[in-house]
Structure formats: structure tokens, C-alpha cells
Amino acid sequence: MQRGHLTLLTRNGASSYFLGAEGDTGPEYELVREFAEFIGVDVEVRVAEAFSELSGLLREDQGELIAANLTRTPSREKQFRFGPDYDETLIEVVYRRGQQKPRELADLVGQRVAVIAGSSYEELLEIASQSIAGLTWESRQRVGMEDLLLEVAQGDLDATLVDSSIFSVNRTFYPRLDTGFSLEQAQPHAWAFQRDDDDTLVQQADLFLTLARENGQLAAVQNQFKRRAHQLDQVGMYQFLKQVRERLPVYIPVFQDVANAYDLDWRLLAAVGYQESHWDPDAASPTGVRGLMMLTQRTATQLGLRDRTDPEQSIDGGARYILRMHKRIPDRIPEPDRTWMALAAYNMGWGHLEDTRVLTQRQGGDPDVWKDVSERLPLLMQEKYYSKARYGYARGLEAQRYVRNIRNYFDILVWMDTRAHPMLVAASHRILPADTPTAP
């Protein structure tokens, strides 16, 4: 309280803490942030390089609590003082679809299995190995759950163990993976605090989580990320990740150079490029739009492009066209709504966006808020609305989906890039020449 903040000890990952498009986020982070607000302080984050380092950081006073999908186990209760359980999950054995499905721990004998060192999974396998002859595994230091899931997805491992809650958040990134079986006993998750004479912080955590469970705050935080995963499934996650590995790496330097030239985010440009063409420089439509950013001949001519199928010219032209739309958005509209409206205009035309904003205002919504405008985009497909609009009919539902998809792709690329996600890094190393710069 005197310092004005508490320090969260955690690990980088989709189920705990990561940098999103708008800053720090993640299920564990968001819950701890609300707890910090509850006791009147800010929150700072310290990320451990390895899961096994968290306990040492806590003992060395490098933070006040561990929040990293930590399972309460008898051995850990001897080390830490735990707060109340805030989640309960099953341990799942995950394998790659198309391989022989494991149905019990004995099926892992002779298989390539790896788990995170110092995890509850390691404890469980050590106990099981006493009764299952030949059960072996590798304990990995300095890896995240995502690294192991990726190895299973690529066939480098046969299986790994993961909490069901963690897998539910991550599985959308690994569509080739499936659950072989779940272990019967549920595993409670809780925050860990130092085991000393002062339990006042634990008491406050107990009070906060009790209230959060009663008022729905806890469920809202947890469901926020589960809903996001469901949305990503709807926009073709498998195909997107396939092209992240196979097509994107060679264009990363181009997206970066163009973005730097125009003060844009390269990951946003890349997201637009995927939505337009799946990063295919030879893409073409029956209506005549072509290239990686799918520009019309008229737009390409206006932008001074000689060849729409040249990736560098296409990305440069797409960036300038987005900026053209962005500059027309009223200055009073803040980010990120300003960008989402610019993208809608990029897709459907400036006039149709303005028609939608006018309609939004007439219906009592805020024409300067993307959420309100987005909800009314499909109305321009109904005659009773478009017949009164200045620019007439528009495929508003398509524009709504267009922006939603780009936001989804952008979020994934930001998440991968800011934590050097193994899928993006591995793809870059495999495809790019050694002297080609990769994403920062």
C-alpha cells in the first residue's frame, strides 16, 4: 500500500498474461488487475523465464503473488500460502489428430511425452510411474505450454499434459490437436502468496474473490477469453495458422518497411492483407481487383502503382489507401474506433460509412463509436433504410465481418509477435534466409 502497487509473478501465455493489441491482458492478469483496483493499488508484472522460477521469485520478495494457472497441490501447500480456489479444471492428455488416441496413462508408454518442469503434471507422472512400468517423459525448462502444444501439433511429440482451462484458451491456435482423455480428479487453481506471519493480503484476496464470484465478475473475466477463442474458430483459424507458417514470413520485412514508412502497425497491415488475399500476390477476383491487398485498377492508377501483383507495390498502395480513409475520419473519434471505421470505409467505400454513421445518430446511437456504427452496417442491406441513404444499398454485413475478421487476425499476430510465439518464430526461421530480418 505504501509503494502504491503490487507485483504479479506470472508466465507469458494465452491463459495467463500477454501483450494484446491494446496493452497488457490475459485471464490471470485481468483478474489480478481487478484485485489490485479493489485494494486501491496499481499492478506491475514480472514474467518468469521458466515456470519453475516462480516459487524462487516469490521467496526472494520479487513479487507479492503468483498467478499462473497454478494448481494447489499438497507439496505446494508446504511452500506457499494459497488464496481461495478461483477455478477448477481437469488435466487432459493432448495428442495430434490422426495419431492413435491415448485413452489412459498406460497408453503413453513408449511415446514421446514432455511436460513443463516443476509443474503439477510432472508430479502426477512421477506418481503414476510407480505403478506403470516403462512410463517415461521429458521435463522441459524455459518453455511455455504453447511450445509443447506446438511440438505435438507438428509431430515432434506424441503427447503432453495440460489443464482443460488452459487448453480451452489455446486450442484455437492449434486446430490439429485434440484431447485423448482427462484424468478424473479435478485440479483447483489458486493464487500463491508467501508463507509468513502476515496474511493480510491473502485475506483481501479471499474477500475479493468471494465478492467477484457472487457478482459475476470472476465469470466475466474467464468467459471473456473463452468467447474470443470461439470467435476465432469462426474465421477459419486452421487456414490462417497454415498461412502464418507458409506464406507470411517472406512478407514480414515488406510489411515492416511499409508500416515504418507510414507510421502504421505492420501487424495490422498483415491482417488486412490476409483478409484480402490470404497473402497471395497473384490473387484475383471476377470483379477485377488483384494482388496481395486486392486493389482495383482505378485505385492502383490513382496511387501510381505500375504492377498490382508486385507484393511491395501492393502493400505500399494498400497502406496509403487505408491512410486516405483514416484521414477522412473526424479527428474527434479516438483510436481504435478511428481505425476500425477506416477499415470499413476501405471495404465498402467512404460514402456508405457516412450513411451508416448518419443512420446510427438517427437511431439514438453514437456515430463516433465503432460498436454503435458496426451494429447498423447490415441495415444498409434493407430497402427501408438504404432507400433513404445518400449512397444507397451497401453490403454492410460484409463490411461488418470484414472488420471483425481483421481485428481477430490482428489480435493473433500481436499476441504471437510480442511474445515471440514459437509458431511464428519457427516459420520465420524455416522459410526466411539467415540475413533476412524477422518480426521484432
Instruction: Give the active site residues.
Output: 276
91 within 8 A of 187, measured Cβ to Cβ: yes
The whole-angstrom separation of Cα 174 and Cα 231 is 15
Instruction: Pull the grid cell for residue 160.
Output: 503432453
Pairing between β-strand 192-194 and β-strand 91-96 as defined by DSSP bridges: unpaired
Count CB neighbours of 206 within 10 A.
13
- Helix, strand and coil percent figures for the chain, each rounded to 5: 50, 15, 35
The whole-angstrom separation of Cα 341 and Cα 331 is 12
| 336 upstream amide cis, omega within 30 of 0 | yes
Phi, psi of 67 (to 5 degrees): -130, 95
Q: 71 has which bridge partners? A: 189
The whole-angstrom separation of Cα 203 and Cα 209 is 10
The DSSP letter of residue 102 is: P
18 within 8 A of 36, measured Cβ to Cβ: no
The whole-angstrom separation of Cα 406 and Cα 404 is 6
C-alpha pair distances (Å), 65 with each of 57, 61, 228: 10, 10, 27
Residue with cell 492428455: 93
70 within 8 A of 166, measured Cβ to Cβ: no
Listed in sequence order, the residues at least 6 apart from 411 whose beta carbon sits closer than 8 Å to its beta carbon are 20, 21, 228
The whole-angstrom separation of Cα 20 and Cα 14 is 10
The whole-angstrom separation of Cα 33 and Cα 12 is 16
Amino acid at 151: E
Of the candidates 151, 102, 148, the one whose C-alpha atom is nearest the C-alpha of residue 128 is: 102
Amino acid at 313: Q
